[in-house]
Amino acid sequence: MASYKRLNPEYVQFSNAVLSEEPERPLLPQRPFCSVTTGLIVLGCLLLLLCGVWLLGTMIWLRRPTSQEPHRPPAPAPAQTPDSQAQPTTAAFNSEACSVIPEPWRFDCYPERGVVVTKEMCEARNCCFIPASSSLPPSRRNGIPWCFYPQEFPSYSLVSLNDTSLGQKGQLVREVKTYYPGDILNLELEIRHETDTRLRVRITDPSNSRFEVPITVPNATEKAESPAYTVELSKEPFGLIVKRSSTGAVAVILILYMHFLQFSSSLPSQFIYGLGEHRSSFLHDVQWNTLTMWARDVPPMEMTNLYGAHPFYLAMEEGGNAYGLFLLNSNAMDVVLQPAPAVTWRTIGGILDFYIFLGPDPGSVIEQYQEVIGFPAMPIYWALGYHLCRWGYGSSNATWEVVKKMRNSGTPQDAQWNDIDYMNHFMDFTFDPANFATLPDLVKDLHAHDQRYVMILDPGISSTQAEGSYWPYDEGLRRGVFINDSDGNTLIGKVWPGLTAYPDFSDHVTHEWWYDNLKSFHEKVPFDGLWIDMNEPSNFLDGSTKGCPSNSLENPPYTPGVLGGLLRGKTVCASAQHKHSLHYNMHSLYGLMEAKASRIVGKRPFVISRSTFPSHGMYSGHWLGDNRSHWKDLYTSIAGILTFNILGIPLVGADICGFSEQPQEELCVRWTQLGAFYPFTRNHNAIDMKPQDPTAFSSLAGTAMKQALLLRYSLFPLLYTLFHHAHVHGHTVARPLMFEFPNDTKTYGIDRQFLWGSGLLITPVLDPGVNYVVGYFPEGLWYDYYTGNSVRSKGEDMRLPAPLDQINLHLREGTITPTQTPNLTLWVSSGQPLHLVSALSEDGSASGDLFWDDGESIDTYETNQYAYIVFSVSQSVMTSQVLHNHVEATFITVQSATFYGVKQAPGKVLVNSQEVSFIYRPNQVLTVADLGLNLSKNFTISWM
């Protein structure tokens, strides 16, 4: 839901390897890889413990394989507090040593924002001070640091090491203290060889328990038998060396320090992805780019921490290999990308617990990542239809009228939504008894037409109603389900209903209370899905009505670059108390915990959440927030869709036509065409804006939008099968081209096109006033989806006609795509006969598959209540093989089949050995119709 209208130290640092002979790398599109791009590249770190107690830090340095001894990392020296005194250090400042460090390899020794760093301040930390070649001041947020780490500093030694059932455990000791009291001089290292492609490293303080993220991860019980990596350890200074067995070595050196967790990774190339949630290109910019993670209610904008936090990145290596790194940490953090290329993580809580995924291809990395965080849920079938919403319908009758206009226009629609205006004074679990009196009747009418109803819920529960008049708050107090302030009293903030309390979703008692409220309201309004919004959690105040205490939680020595500079900015106090831990630790987990609580039992639940965290895809989908009706927002939505697919949340979309500002007809047409290929498709706009549903525009525009949506509905069998593979195997649904063509570096930065699965290429128009679009076609044979006309590409850009009423789609050679005749709802469409489209390779082969079940029962795959059919073409014969049968398949027939790329006109066509009629067109397209083949039985189609 929208909130755009109301928007109007101390620590010890990290270091990185200094490669003085390393040449500066050019930018895209001529970006070369590092000579070693095959390894796991993890560099250093520091850990902050909570509540001002002792802090633990670690640093990992990665170098390239070389026959020479590695350079030592530059030395991080301790920062001073305002009331501390400089002390001697063993890392002596050496200006000559500083000058040889190339600018791309300078790691910031003074990352505090808003500070103009002087030479004296920098050298007080025993760091190098050299103004960069840029004229930008050293206080700017991003840029070449003027204060950076030198090469030498005291580190830990590995004093003991023992084998375990999963790998090794060791003791790390440091004898030289830093500037700060409470140095942790003894640490425990644990290395777990969890699978052949997954390595886990944990560094903890054995004498103190620290916050760990409460999500379920695999509990490996046996050491990997044939790992794709090797791990070597050095004792002094302590080093961790990880090598990709198949391609070469990458050294990783750990050095541990205090006060905030910071670790850096030398990257194998400048191609890095993930690190959500931010508005950016799909391929991140490594030119001194800081990405902050701390869930925040703010419309999408660049250089801002947005709704979710996903500390995972995917990096490409030379030759098409890839690896991934996941830091299992939920505290506020900065991720700094710099052109070395390298990445630095700074987080202010938790422990150092990271995973490295070996891939080797990008898709395999994402599968391995989801094996840790959990595979996404299989969506209920109607979730993949067209959804319509707006803030400001004003009444249930007005909402109903839009639904009727959509039906009368023949435009497909599966779900109607309402924003907060349906509520009584914006209070959860109520509806306006005057303006929305007919809401129950509207929902009944939707159900009668095979449509569904989705309602919004915000977590803030009104706290100002008369006692006994609002059960959610009264009962919540009685059960103790709300977040408390630091004094142990219910924390009160302010959201749409006014003063509010916030449910503590970390407590199972709160889940029970939430369910009871949902059940009670469902008896009045039988809703089908939930839209959980404002769950960062959002607050119109900073902290609470009483403010927040002044302590190190609210004002930590280092604050990442959160919008406004305060952890409590437009959310609850960092010192607020959940049952599980402090809000300081739990903040970015709030949306995930609410999503877990919102999964109603029975049929597959449908939940769309604004705030997300790793593992969210198991419980909910996501939309990209309060975007604007701008062409730029149209374009950036593709990067958002692709990023969330690699983050394990494939059910994702952006508000079609834009949420805020007045929609333009041309923009809305183009956006509907693109939005028809979002995995989750919803049109939504703001209060006081003009309507932007397909019936609100000219007949020409409305027809173009309707055609795009009908096209989506016809492709439902393909989309549903892709979600099955996402659920079972962790595959992406909306897929970057680089996933299918990892050896083609031209695909690495593409985010103006994308694929559905491996074979359907979508090339939308993203600019105003044009009737063409330029798209990149990787090497191979591609077919126009609509006509079957073929084009052979050497890996090149092509100009395509793009009239206002059509989006360009192309089929990749070697694929078979199942489609159906579309209708007004997916319930009707999914019962229609199938049409199979085969895009033949040069050798005449193709393959595809179909997953089919009842569309709504939970765990149909896990309980074997599904059908799975594989199609293949070889040597002029198509075969259908039923690998798993189910009664649902008996209701579906294959009515026709089309083959693109049949080089010669057949003399005859046989279906199950019986000759049938056919049509062959000069563009090498063969069509066989009126088949009537039962999907649950094997069949063959051949031509000669």
Residue 519 pLDDT exceeds 60: yes
pLDDT for res 182: 57
Residue 315 pLDDT exceeds 60: yes
What are the residue boundaries of the structural domains of the chain, listed by start? 181-373, 734-943
Dist. CA 286–CA 750, nearest whole Å? 16
Give yes or no for a contact between 742 and 778, defined as CB atoms under 8 angstroms apart.
no
* Neighbouring-strand partners of residue 869: 850, 882
Dist. CA 734–CA 650, nearest whole Å? 7
Dist. CA 860–CA 720, nearest whole Å? 13
- Between 171 and 86, the higher pLDDT residue: 171
pLDDT tier at 924, thresholds 50, 70, 90: very high
Domains 181-373 and 734-943 share a fold: yes
pLDDT tier at 510, thresholds 50, 70, 90: very high
User: 3-class secondary structure for 676-703?
Assistant: CCCCCEEEEECCCCCCCCHHHCCHHHHH
Residue 327 pLDDT exceeds 70: yes
Residue 480 pLDDT exceeds 90: yes
pLDDT for res 81: 38
pLDDT tier at 183, thresholds 50, 70, 90: low
Q: Which amino acid is at 48?
A: L
Give yes or no for a contact between 328 and 47, defined as CB atoms under 8 angstroms apart.
no
C-alpha angle 585/618/352, rounded to 5°? 35
In CATH, what is the architecture of 181-373? Sandwich (2.60)
pLDDT for res 205: 86
Give yes or no for a contact between 350 and 332, defined as CB atoms under 8 angstroms apart.
no
H/E stretch holding 362 reads: helix 362-373
pLDDT for res 923: 98
Tokens matching residue 543: 């902290």
Residue 32 pLDDT exceeds 50: no
Q: Tokens 């179909």 appear where?
A: 850
Distances (CA, A) of 300 to 3, 610, 613, 616: 11, 12, 17, 20
Dist. CA 387–CA 565, nearest whole Å? 37
H/E stretch holding 597 reads: helix 590-597
Dist. CA 701–CA 673, nearest whole Å? 11
H/E stretch holding 796 reads: strand 796-801
pLDDT for res 546: 98
pLDDT for res 178: 59
pLDDT for res 118: 93
Residue 300 pLDDT exceeds 50: yes
Sign for the CA dihedral angle at 700, 706, 712, 713 comes to negative
* Neighbouring-strand partners of residue 199: 193, 356
What is the rounded average pLDDT of the residues 794-804? Answer: 98
- Among 916, 844, 857, 918, CA closest to 888: 857
User: Three-class SS of residue 72?
Assistant: coil
Q: At the fourth CATH level, which superfamily is domain 734-943?
A: Golgi alpha-mannosidase II (2.60.40.1180)
Tokens matching residue 615: 């593992």
Distances (CA, A) of 244 to 96, 292, 317, 497, 944: 36, 30, 11, 55, 49
Peptide bond into 29 cis (omega under 30): yes
User: 3-class secondary structure for 464-517?
Assistant: CCCCCCCHHHHHHHHHCCECECCCCCECEEEECCEEEECECCCCHHHHHHHHHH
Residue 61 pLDDT exceeds 50: no
Task: Tell how strand 834-839 and strand 893-900 pair up.
Answer: parallel
Dist. CA 715–CA 692, nearest whole Å? 24
Dist. CA 352–CA 256, nearest whole Å? 11
Dist. CA 241–CA 388, nearest whole Å? 53
- Among 430, 413, 524, 503, CA closest to 469: 430
The CA-based diameter of the chain, rounded to the nearest angstrom, is: 93
* Neighbouring-strand partners of residue 372: none
Distances (CA, A) of 647 to 467, 641, 751: 44, 10, 16
pLDDT for res 135: 56
Active site residue 536: yes
Residue 34 pLDDT exceeds 70: no
Question: 338-371: per-residue pLDDT in tens?
Answer: 999 998 889 998 988 999 999 999 999 999 999 9
CB-count burial class (<10 Å; 0-12, 13-18, 19+) for 163:
exposed
Give yes or no for a contact between 245 and 314, defined as CB atoms under 8 angstroms apart.
no
pLDDT tier at 37, thresholds 50, 70, 90: very low
Q: Find how far residue 670's CA is from the centre of its chain.
A: 24
Task: Tell how strand 734-735 and strand 681-685 pair up.
Answer: unpaired
Least reliable range by pLDDT among 150-159, 223-232, 271-280, 669-678: 150-159
Dist. CA 694–CA 702, nearest whole Å? 5
User: What secondary structure does DSSP assign to 293-357, as a single string?
Assistant: ES-------TTS--S--EEEEEEE-GGG-EEEEEE---S-EEEEEETTTEEEEEESSS-EEEEEE
pLDDT for res 828: 97
CB-count burial class (<10 Å; 0-12, 13-18, 19+) for 932:
exposed
Question: 98-152: per-residue pLDDT in tens?
Answer: 999 999 999 898 888 888 999 999 988 888 999 987 655 554 457 899 999 887 7
Candidate list 194, 428, 507, 533, residue with the active-site label:
533
The string over 876-914, giving b where at least 16 C-beta atoms fall within 10 Å of a residue's C-beta and e elsewhere, is bebebebeeebebbeebbbbbbbbbbbeeebeebbbeee
pLDDT for res 690: 96
Residue 894 pLDDT exceeds 90: yes
Dist. CA 601–CA 855, nearest whole Å? 15
Sign for the CA dihedral angle at 175, 179, 182, 183 comes to negative
What φ, ψ does residue 492 adopt, rounded to 5°?
A: -115, 125
Give yes or no for a contact between 503 and 516, defined as CB atoms under 8 angstroms apart.
no
What is the rounded average pLDDT of the residues 842-865? Answer: 97
Task: Tell how strand 333-338 and strand 342-347 pair up.
Answer: antiparallel
Write the CB contacts of 894 (distance below 8 Å, at least 6 apart in sequence).
833, 834, 835, 836, 880, 931, 932, 933, 934, 935, 939
Q: Which amino acid is at 241?
A: I
Distances (CA, A) of 164 to 188, 189, 194, 732: 13, 12, 12, 35
pLDDT > 90: percent of the chain: 77
Q: What is the mean pLDDT of the chain?
A: 88
Tokens matching residue 209: 């328990």
Give yes or no for a contact between 493 and 499, defined as CB atoms under 8 angstroms apart.
yes
Determine the straight-line distance between the first and last CA of the chain, rounded to whole angstroms.
59
pLDDT for res 126: 81
User: Three-class SS of residue 21?
Assistant: coil
pLDDT for res 238: 79
Question: 8-28: per-residue pLDDT in tens?
Answer: 222 222 222 222 223 333 333
Alpha-helix residue ranges (DSSP H) falling in 688-837: 699-714, 716-729, 737-740, 826-829
H/E stretch holding 383 reads: none
Candidate list 536, 655, 751, 813, residue with the active-site label:
536
User: What secondary structure does DSSP assign to 552-572, as a single string?
Assistant: TTTS-SS----GGG-TTTTSB
User: What secondary structure does DSSP assign to 599-648, as a single string?
Assistant: --SSSPP-EEESS--TTGGGT-EEE--S-BSSHHHHHHHHHHHHHHHHTT
Residue 856 pLDDT exceeds 90: yes
- Among 11, 659, 54, 745, CA closest to 351: 54
- Rounded to the nearest 10°, the torsion over CA 144, 332, 648, 517 is -150
pLDDT tier at 769, thresholds 50, 70, 90: very high
Give yes or no for a contact between 760 and 809, defined as CB atoms under 8 angstroms apart.
yes
Write the CB contacts of 740 (distance below 8 Å, at least 6 apart in sequence).
755, 758, 778, 812
Least reliable range by pLDDT among 181-185, 234-238, 517-521, 853-857: 181-185
Question: 628-648: per-residue pLDDT in tens?
Answer: 999 999 999 999 999 999 999
User: What secondary structure does DSSP assign to 112-165, as a single string?
Assistant: -TT----HHHHHTTT-EE---SS-S-TTSSSS--SEE--S-----EEEEEEE-S
